[in-house]
Structure 1
Amino acid sequence: MVQASFFWYGSWADGCILKDVFPSLFFICEQKNQCVNRFRFPSNLDAHQLGWNFHLPLSLSNFNPSKAQELHLFLSRFWLDESGVDQLIWTASPGATFSVADAINILVQSSGLPPPVWPKIIWGNNVPFKIMVFHWLAIKQCIPVRDILASRSILPPNVSTLCVFCMTDIETIDHLLIHCKWSSSILSDLFRWWNIRWIIPRSIVDFSFDWFYGMGIKASKFWKLIGPATMWAIWMARNDFIFNGKFTCRSIIVRNIKLKVFLWASSLKLVHGLQAYVWDQNPFLFCQ
């Protein structure tokens, strides 16, 4: 504990920075950049009790004795373990283990804003991690579609920014994943599969809220898988067409989405006993 923590600059004393709490003593101290062990010595009265030498000039040692006494009193509350190893401890979590979730909760509570929903919608979803990351990048408008590549001067001037499927609108993230006639026809097939009439959402953010909160309690557990699987399938089909010149027809993509979601649902114990062809024909049987 005492080997690497700076006496004046470190936060070893209950989180306090001593140079800020006792500025007058810090100003006259002759060893400002030393560690804690250079300031203490064992007491003759108690092996666990420490004495302190603040390295004040002899001519000034009695200049402000009350401040020195105040610092002695303040430090008398601490017991230093000389056998331990210096380490930073996260005091906001049980077990002193740092977690991103606890850090986010502290920031949210201090800001007075409502808790963010994305950790639940994206990172709490039961899909492969790479699809979670893709979903997050889509929400943040960071997927490398042609519009974004052109804005960063990455896309060559001779390459069009139009959508590779419809060739009528600029390829933005929302257009590619939702608004393109080709993409919306895939989504329409999936909604029709569930006997749902839908209105094309404004953005991928709205679409994410729709499939997470707007499908009913029994169906939502499947749509939480269908939504990300559909976005990923459209993105992979787009890349396959651009880089390999291979166009995948809509019916094959829809079939693959259904099969992929069925396999995910099976691993999550959301489906039992029925075969994949039953899932393809009547998914409501799995919502009983």
Structure 2
Amino acid sequence: MGWEDFSKNCQFVVGLGNRVRFWQDGWYGDQPFQLAFPRLYGIAIDKEVSVEASLSRQGAEDRRIWNVRFIREFNDWEMDDLSRQGAEDRRIWNVRFIREFNDWEMDEGLHFLRILGAKIPPMDVGDRMRWKLKPNGDFDIRSYYNKLRGSPSIVFPWKVIWKAKAPRRVSFFVWCVVWNKILTGDNMRLRKLVFVDWCIMCRHCGETVDHLLLHCEMAYRLWSFVFITFGLSWVVPRSIPDLLFGWWNWLGKYSSQIWNLVPLCILWCIWKEWNRRTFEDLDSSSDQMLASFSGTLFDWSRAWGLTTSLLYDLHA
């Protein structure tokens, strides 16, 4: 990883042209002229020439004209095209060659001349570099880091986790849930632990993150209670990430502060009950879990001054 890789994300913006190499720096189009016109680069006299050295000034107005030198002269038909470019742009070309183009170089040469005819850098500003990964052209570390890292394989529901007004430890727990890193039965079996393959909550199915927190009978009662209280019809999605993607600000930007707390509160209450049953051998009934959820949501909301009639209905 060096300048060659880094420079692919940069584009030179030419002014005076004294700091930009004509052939080797990317100042026009998506790639340097040495790559865009390899045959012409091969017959160029000075391959290290700057843009400024490739321009000449002429006339009372001190206009700049191109003075790119090649190893051979233009053919007659190429000079006619060059004259037409100059007549339209009021510029005079001074391109020199010492041999004629080969037949296979003609199209490339014409295309090259048309590009030069349309691009005369200004004389009143200096050269600068533009960062192609940012719309404003300014370099920053984050854009380059994201470029090096590449696109993530999944889109992460970070807003509902980190922007909800829940305790930080709860947000961290839900972050682990989304990454499937909590110690449910399927994850513990990956650690070569042997035990009964069932969900400790419903004592029926194999225990996975999505089953425990979303599809288990005990969890489903909590989710159904919330949807009925909010007056919503809802199809429970396949996974926790899918649920969280569709949850954030679903009731509108200014009416969703308590709503955004709900999934974190449900997941946290289910996980606390899972720990009670696993380590203390104590079971709570469905009604007790509903009361625990309602009380926890009420306390979190009141701590942030979020009190509505709906919140009191949930807590009742």
Q: Does the 8 A contact of 1:166 with 1:180 survive in 2? A: yes
- Unmatched tracts of structure 1, length 5 or more: 104-117, 284-288
- Measure the CA separation in 1 of the matches of 2:21 and 2:282: 64
One-letter code aligned to 2:268: A
- Greater RCO (CA < 8 Å, at least 6 residues apart): 2
Pick one of 235, 243, 263 that aligns with 1:228. 263
One-letter code aligned to 1:186: L
For residues 140-165 of structure 1, the C-alpha deviation after alignment (integer angstroms, 9 at most, x for no partner) is x63224466368x4x23336664454
**What secondary structure sits across from 2:181 in the alignment?**
coil
1:113 aligned partner: none
For residues 205-229 of structure 1, the C-alpha deviation after alignment (integer angstroms, 9 at most, x for no partner) is 664587569x877997357414432
Report the CA distance between 1:88 and its aligned residue: 1.9
2:130 aligned partner: 87
1:282 aligned partner: 313
Structure with higher helix content: 1
One-letter code aligned to 1:75: L
User: Per the alignment, do residues 86 and 222 of structure 1 end up closer, same or farther by CA in structure 2, a change over 3 Å counting?
Assistant: closer
1:71 aligned partner: 112
Pick one of 15, 34, 43 that aligns with 2:56. 43
Q: Does the 8 A contact of 1:3 with 1:86 survive in 2? A: no
Question: What RMSD, in angstroms, separates the aligned Cα atoms of the two structures?
Answer: 5.4
- Measure the CA separation in 2 of the matches of 1:194 and 1:96: 47
Report the CA distance between 1:13 and its aligned residue: 0.2
User: Per the alignment, do residues 252 and 227 of structure 1 end up closer, same or farther by CA in structure 2, a change over 3 Å counting?
Assistant: closer
2:88 aligned partner: none
Task: Give the alignment's TM-score, normalised by structure 1.
Answer: 0.55
Pick one of 186, 194, 213 that aligns with 1:177. 213
1:158 aligned partner: 194
Percent pairwise identity: 15
One-letter code aligned to 2:264: A
Pick one of 40, 50, 65 that aligns with 1:25. 40
For residues 147-203 of structure 1, the C-alpha deviation after alignment (integer angstroms, 9 at most, x for no partner) is 66368x4x2333666445445322323212211233223324434544667665554
- Measure the CA separation in 2 of the matches of 1:263 and 1:142: 28
1:112 aligned partner: none
Which has the greater radius of gyration? 2
- Measure the CA separation in 1 of the matches of 2:227 and 2:217: 15
- Measure the CA separation in 2 of the matches of 1:88 and 1:58: 37
Pick one of 299, 303, 308 that aligns with 1:259. 299
- Aligned pair count? 248
Q: Does the 8 A contact of 2:164 with 2:257 survive in 1? A: no
Q: How does 1:195-274 map to 2 (within 5 A)?
A: 201-204=237-240, 207-208=243-244, 221=256, 224-230=259-265, 232-234=267-269, 237=272, 250=289, 251-261=291-301, 263=303, 266=306
Q: Does the 8 A contact of 2:185 with 2:207 survive in 1? A: yes
Q: Does the 8 A contact of 1:174 with 1:203 survive in 2? A: yes
- Measure the CA separation in 2 of the matches of 1:4 and 1:156: 62
Task: Give the alignment's TM-score, normalised by structure 2.
Answer: 0.51
User: Per the alignment, do residues 201 and 13 of structure 1 end up closer, same or farther by CA in structure 2, a change over 3 Å counting?
Assistant: closer
